[in-house]
Structure 1
């Protein structure tokens, strides 16, 4: 499990899912929708020729929207299809009908099988003094050029009737049409004013942008191919690492994405060029019966070669058999020492993500009086599983399982010594006919006078089979020992969440969305805004599972499975 790829993949997949949530829920019916389970077309968006190499992000849909809509209905149960249709109709009203457009009448007759949306630049005039002016480009493939041109002509006629002041410009043989914004000039001098611009490029694409300059730059990228993302060798290398057939694709330039989002964004600031290990990420999207599967490829930054390795696992680690089945968050794999180093290094410049990891770990460290990195990580060099459980009526608790190794005994002795220095009593108790060692704080009883003491257990651990099990309470340990046949490893929800992923991997990061939604919203305020924008998607989100498939010296491969609910 390569932690950095996990968290970087999350950001890019979020962009992809937003497009799929918008483009995939239109009111249309297609033929043979279940064929999409076999993928769409080769994951190489043609519109990449319009996008500059340094673009922060690009998201492409490589099948027609009506095919996604038909697939959505096909995989829904009969009882849920009415609700699905209502959701699709509501989304179309929001996106199109409210703007005087109809997909059936205005777009479907000419739209091809590619829709690409790109953030082309964090700041199109590169002038920090007037704030960021990001450029956005929408490229729509055409399969009926004449009808596409008629649509664009009618579109601008309606804008003119509504009072828009239109500007017509010939640029390198392409007609560019845009609305004249207040304070803007045709040469885009001064502070650019956002407007709406369009161009029809040959018989292939209809382009829309928020500035005329974005369209001019897109045309330049086609006429000087070395400028475009499509000509980037690293981009092509990343595409080669993905499965051939996809229904969508995302490209993220990590440094440029950080510049676009800014230092105050939820992702925080990005590492300096000198320390940055990864430069960009490409994710190909496939449809599964229960959700979306993103195959990811992280590209190493210049001068930062990766350590080549092959996946170590062919099935979930045995340590997961001691993690309770209702665990909403778990991480599992091998060699925690290596993982922890990658995790802390990869997240140190991402404020909120670092806090999400740091806050619960800090609570565990405070309770046990240990330093996770120094007192636990070094001796866990085989299988491990970490779970954060939320028992009804009790505070969240940790369960940590480590496979025994030659270093285990010394590691536990160190933990016992730390507990004793803190004034805790280290001693055995019996649970389910098994000896369990506890770290206990003895306090005077508040209910009775005299010398009676109250025991406050800070932690417990025991050896079972070849695994050392740690919990933050006796109750949690008792549940594990009392129900050994019930675990996350065999739970149906977890099995479904890992089923689409390749069996050869480095472990899993698993998140049950319904259980962690509120805590995440409290820590990431921007998440609530994202949920409003992508409400149809978030309302159906069930779980998120992330894994790594290994790497060569240039590319780190992995996958993210987003499991969705039908109702």
Structure 2
């Protein structure tokens, strides 16, 4: 503003009392908003968050409502119900029966609504022997359990009368003003118990772990102070959750690196340190379990997430009888993210370097330069059932779709593939028409191998391996997967727009015969047979957070009796 147009300052400025009043209102409003937000975040924290060290690797909170667990036991097949009951029995015996405790007699009369268990880094449980003494046996994973006290008088009365506390050999000691009771059950198994302010009971499986919990309450950094933790929990809060989970990604990565036989490259470890945590809640519904998940980056992270959520059309391109599908918004970006974290991931679906080398040696192409460079759009990998009349040896087809960002580059690469398949592997490569649209078939009759490639809507390339399914997707499905009631129910989500889906019709997948990619071990089938469907919806909600909605549909089983 120049001198000629400068306004009269006495006319433009508000009176001083009004300025002070506005400032006070802003400060007061901000203080109220901060108090409300802080209070909301404290309310969603798991029980005992103030006693759990901030470097805990994983924290699990479970409801003590026996009605919820009874409802969960009602799902499944007879075999899966028996297996689940056995898991509950083992958990009960490990933490209660082996110590002479009975839940209904000793715990249920006074316990609060949720129990929290924290798994600490191994260093918290290391015992260094004195010089000349033999090495101590290996300790179990250091664990602290926080049990809330809903009725202090009843807790005191119940535990004092319990045969478990009367008969066991307990010793007492003082640690920083807190009375700790301990029972050395064996050379490498012990129990330490402390009561905090008549509101919480700490139970640990070694003395060092309970001391760390007490230190955390008095002066240490706790789970409740983890950056972004409270804010993340408010986004996935469930009033009636049966379980909640938190994974400390940097701490878990450090522990994995220290104990892994496979060295983790420093740059990969540094990349993982950009992450802060992963949290999830689980809630029972009439038809299964609904999970809400969130992952977030550290506040000082230099990495930022791509906030584009562009996965929206794939469910309309796949037919309604699709058995399984996984989709995303940008294949090139997905591959970059996957390769950055794969070196430290104990579960690798695909080894990046092995895939690069495999493509280079088999078809002479560079994965990144020749393929992924034009695969920057929406993509999916799906399993479609064979049409009627297809050979029994081909019960399904694996179908890959990707929206190209450069049709000309894509066509050039696909032409090279045609030449390689014909000259190097003696495939019969020929063009054909389906519903008036051009496709290219690669066939090897002697080996019953059939591959088809083509285009949908001009810019979506597809490649199918197995049964001939081109007529099911060209020019478009008669009825799309998006209209499938099971798919809609399984992937129903508040996340819109989103960045991908995963869906599996478990019943039909398990019934699929003669398909080599789905040879499932019998032990895993017991669990999977209890599931009717799985649906996942993912979205990037900010440049630092990603959200996931997961639904696991479960079959209704027999009415369960008492646990054995």
Q: TM-score, normalised by structure 1?
A: 0.72
In the aligned structure 2, how far is the partner of 1:399 from the partner of 1:521? 15
Q: Offset of 1:71 from its aligned partner?
A: 4.8
Q: Offset of 1:240 from its aligned partner?
A: 4.1
Alignment of 1:302-451 (within 5 A): 303-307=300-304, 310=307, 312-313=309-310, 317-355=312-350, 370-389=365-384, 391=386, 393-394=393-394, 397-403=397-403, 405=405, 407-422=406-421, 423=423, 426-440=429-443
* Aligned match of 2:146: 139
* Aligned match of 2:291: 294
**Would you say the 8 A contact 2:379–2:400 is kept in 1?**
yes
Alignment of 1:30-41 (within 5 A): none
Alignment of 1:42-441 (within 5 A): 42-61=43-62, 63-69=63-69, 71-72=71-72, 94-96=90-92, 101-125=101-125, 133-155=140-162, 157-158=163-164, 161=167, 164-180=168-184, 193-224=188-219, 226-243=220-237, 245=239, 247=241, 248-260=243-255, 272-276=268-272, 277-301=274-298, 303-307=300-304, 310=307, 312-313=309-310, 317-355=312-350, 370-389=365-384, 391=386, 393-394=393-394, 397-403=397-403, 405=405, 407-422=406-421, 423=423, 426-440=429-443
Q: Offset of 1:357 from its aligned partner?
A: 8.5
SS at match of 2:55: coil
In the aligned structure 1, how far is the partner of 2:47 from the partner of 2:534? 30
Q: Offset of 1:94 from its aligned partner?
A: 4.9
Q: 1:135 to 1:145 in 2, by over 3 A?
A: same
SS at match of 1:505: coil
**Would you say the 8 A contact 1:246–1:284 is kept in 2?**
no
Instruction: Please list the CA deviations of residues 376-395 of structure 1 after superposition, one character each: whole Å capped at 9, or x if unmatched.
Output: 32212333222145656337
* Aligned match of 1:499: 492
Instruction: Please list the CA deviations of residues 31-64 of structure 1 after superposition, one character each: whole Å capped at 9, or x if unmatched.
Output: xxxxxxxxxx942113111110101010113x43
Q: Offset of 1:141 from its aligned partner?
A: 1.0
Q: What's the C-alpha RMSD, in Å, of the aligned pairs?
A: 4.4
In the aligned structure 2, how far is the partner of 1:415 from the partner of 1:141? 63
* Aligned match of 2:556: 566
Where structure 2 has 5 or more consecutive residues not aligned to the other structure, the ranges are 1-41, 129-134, 387-391, 558-564
SS at match of 2:50: helix
Instruction: Please list the CA deviations of residues 108-130 of structure 1 after superposition, one character each: whole Å capped at 9, or x if unmatched.
Output: 21111121011022232557997
Instruction: Please list the CA deviations of residues 157-211 of structure 1 after superposition, one character each: whole Å capped at 9, or x if unmatched.
Output: 43663xx53222222333221212556xxxxxxxxx3312222222211221111
Q: 1:558 to 1:91 in 2, by over 3 A?
A: closer
Q: Offset of 1:566 from its aligned partner?
A: 2.2
**Would you say the 8 A contact 2:487–2:535 is kept in 1?**
no
In the aligned structure 1, how far is the partner of 2:202 from the partner of 2:415? 66
SS at match of 1:196: strand
| Higher mean C-alpha deviation, range 552-561 or range 46-55 | 552-561
In the aligned structure 2, how far is the partner of 1:241 from the partner of 1:486? 35
**Would you say the 8 A contact 2:193–2:204 is kept in 1?**
yes
Q: 1:107 to 1:393 in 2, by over 3 A?
A: farther
**Would you say the 8 A contact 2:48–2:146 is kept in 1?**
yes
* Aligned match of 2:481: 488
**Would you say the 8 A contact 2:450–2:468 is kept in 1?**
no
RCO greater where, 1 or 2, for CA within 8 Å and sep 6 or more?
1
Aligned residues, how many? 489
In the aligned structure 2, how far is the partner of 1:283 from the partner of 1:456? 43
In the aligned structure 2, how far is the partner of 1:456 from the partner of 1:211? 59
SS at match of 1:353: coil
In the aligned structure 2, how far is the partner of 1:197 from the partner of 1:475? 64
Where structure 1 has 5 or more consecutive residues not aligned to the other structure, the ranges are 1-40, 184-192, 446-453
**Would you say the 8 A contact 2:247–2:277 is kept in 1?**
yes
